[in-house]
Structure 1
Amino acid sequence: MAKTLTVRAIEAFKATDIRQEIPDGGLPGLYLIIQPSGVMSRAIRYRFEGKPKKFTIGPLPVFPLTKARDEASKLLRDVSEGKDPAAAKATKKALKLDIVNDALDEFIKRYVEKKNRLSTIKERKRLFDKDFRPKFGKRTVKSLTRQEIATHLDEVAERAPIVANRLLSLLRKFFNWAVQKDIIDTSPMEKKIDKPSQERTRDRILTDDEIRLLWQASEKLGYPFGPMVRILLLTAQRRSEVSGAQWPEINLSGNDQQWVIPPERAKNGKEHYVALAAEAIREIEALPKVRPAEDEEPIFLFTTTGVTKVSGYGRAKKNLDAEMLKIAKEEAKAVGRLGDKLELEPWTFHDLRRTAASGMARLGVPVHVVEAVINHRSGSIKGVAAVYNRYDYADEKRSALMGWADHVTQLTIKQKETGIS
Structure 2
Amino acid sequence: MKLTAQSVAKIKPADKRQQISDDNCPGLNLIVQPSGKKGWAVRYRIGDTHRRMTLGAYPILSLAEARQRAREVFAAAAEGRDPAEEVRAAKASKPEDDRDKVSSLLTQYAKRHLKSLKSGATVKRELDRFVGAEWGDRDIHSITKRDVIDLLDEIADSGRTVTANRVRAYLSKFLNWCVERDILPMSPATGVKLVAKEKSRDRVLSDDEVCWFWQACDDLGFPWGPVGQVLLLTGQRLGEVVGMSDSELMGDLWHMDAGRTKNGRAHDVPLSKPVRDILAGVERTADEKGRVQFIFTTTGETPLSGFNKGRNHIAGRMAAIASKEAGEAVTIPHWTFHDLRRTAATGMARLGIAVRVTEAVLNHVSGTGGGIVAVYQRHDYADEKRRALGAWAGLVAEIVTGNVSSEKVVSIRGV
Same-fold status (TM-score > 0.5): yes
Partner in structure 2 of residue 204 of structure 1: 203
Q: CA deviation at 1:319?
A: 4.2
Question: Does structure 1 conserve the Cα–Cα contact (< 8 Å) formed by 2:231 and 2:237?
Answer: yes
The one of 290, 295, 301 aligned to 1:301: 295
Q: State the alpha-carbon separation in 1 of the partners of residues 287 and 26 from structure 2.
A: 73
Question: Does structure 1 conserve the Cα–Cα contact (< 8 Å) formed by 2:114 and 2:120?
Answer: no
Question: Does structure 1 conserve the Cα–Cα contact (< 8 Å) formed by 2:224 and 2:314?
Answer: no
Q: SS in structure 2 opposite 1:165?
A: helix
1:47-126 paired onto structure 2 within 5 Å? 54-55=65-66, 57=69, 59-60=72-73, 64=77, 104-126=106-128
Moved more, 388-397 or 102-111: 102-111
Question: Does structure 2 conserve the Cα–Cα contact (< 8 Å) formed by 1:212 and 1:415?
Answer: no
Instruction: Report the number of matched residues.
Output: 338
Q: CA deviation at 1:355?
A: 0.6
Q: SS in structure 2 opposite 1:260?
A: strand
Q: Deviations over 1:221-270 (max 9, x none)?
A: 23333232221111111222222321121122xxxx21112333322233
- Find out whether 1:129 has 2:132 as its counterpart: yes
Q: State the alpha-carbon separation in 1 of the partners of residues 237 and 75 from structure 2.
A: 54
Q: SS in structure 1 opposite 2:367?
A: coil
Partner in structure 1 of residue 286 of structure 2: 292
Give the superposed CA RMSD. 4.3
Partner in structure 2 of residue 237 of structure 1: 236
- Find out whether 1:328 has 2:322 as its counterpart: yes
1:346-361 paired onto structure 2 within 5 Å? 346-361=334-349
Q: State the alpha-carbon separation in 1 of the partners of residues 110 and 167 from structure 2.
A: 14
Q: State the alpha-carbon separation in 2 of the partners of residues 188 and 62 from structure 1.
A: 28
Question: Does structure 1 conserve the Cα–Cα contact (< 8 Å) formed by 2:235 and 2:362?
Answer: yes
Unaligned segments of structure 2, at least 5 residues: 1-22, 29-52, 85-97, 406-415
Q: Flag the 1:344–1:186 CA change in 2: closer, same or farther, 3 A.
A: closer
Q: State the alpha-carbon separation in 2 of the partners of residues 356 and 204 from structure 1.
A: 12
Q: SS in structure 1 opposite 2:69?
A: strand
Q: Flag the 1:412–1:97 CA change in 2: closer, same or farther, 3 A.
A: closer
Corresponding letter in the other structure for 1:365: I
Q: Flag the 1:213–1:193 CA change in 2: closer, same or farther, 3 A.
A: closer
Q: State the alpha-carbon separation in 2 of the partners of residues 155 and 224 from structure 1.
A: 27
Partner in structure 1 of residue 331 of structure 2: 343
Q: Flag the 1:218–1:415 CA change in 2: closer, same or farther, 3 A.
A: farther
Corresponding letter in the other structure for 1:129: G
Q: CA deviation at 1:121?
A: 4.0
Partner in structure 1 of residue 212 of structure 2: 213
Corresponding letter in the other structure for 1:161: T
Q: CA deviation at 1:186?
A: 5.1
Q: CA deviation at 1:144?
A: 5.9
Corresponding letter in the other structure for 1:377: V
Q: State the alpha-carbon separation in 2 of the partners of residues 309 and 103 from structure 1.
A: 24
Q: CA deviation at 1:129?
A: 1.0
Question: Does structure 2 conserve the Cα–Cα contact (< 8 Å) formed by 1:290 and 1:304?
Answer: no
Q: Flag the 1:306–1:112 CA change in 2: closer, same or farther, 3 A.
A: closer
Moved more, 114-123 or 205-214: 114-123
Q: State the alpha-carbon separation in 1 of the partners of residues 140 and 289 from structure 2.
A: 49
TM-score by length of 1: 0.65
Question: Does structure 2 conserve the Cα–Cα contact (< 8 Å) formed by 1:289 and 1:298?
Answer: no
Q: State the alpha-carbon separation in 1 of the partners of residues 235 and 323 from structure 2.
A: 28
Q: CA deviation at 1:109?
A: 3.5
Q: Flag the 1:138–1:251 CA change in 2: closer, same or farther, 3 A.
A: same
Unaligned segments of structure 1, at least 5 residues: 1-24, 31-41, 72-95, 333-338
Q: State the alpha-carbon separation in 1 of the partners of residues 323 and 317 from structure 2.
A: 10
Q: Flag the 1:319–1:264 CA change in 2: closer, same or farther, 3 A.
A: same
Q: Deviations over 1:100-123 (max 9, x none)?
A: 666555444433333344423423
Q: CA deviation at 1:313?
A: 4.5
- Find out whether 1:138 has 2:139 as its counterpart: yes
Q: Flag the 1:196–1:67 CA change in 2: closer, same or farther, 3 A.
A: farther
Q: Percent identity?
A: 36
- Find out whether 1:262 has 2:263 as its counterpart: no
Corresponding letter in the other structure for 1:410: E
Q: Flag the 1:145–1:222 CA change in 2: closer, same or farther, 3 A.
A: closer
Partner in structure 2 of residue 21 of structure 1: none
Moved more, 348-357 or 316-325: 316-325
Q: Flag the 1:197–1:389 CA change in 2: closer, same or farther, 3 A.
A: same
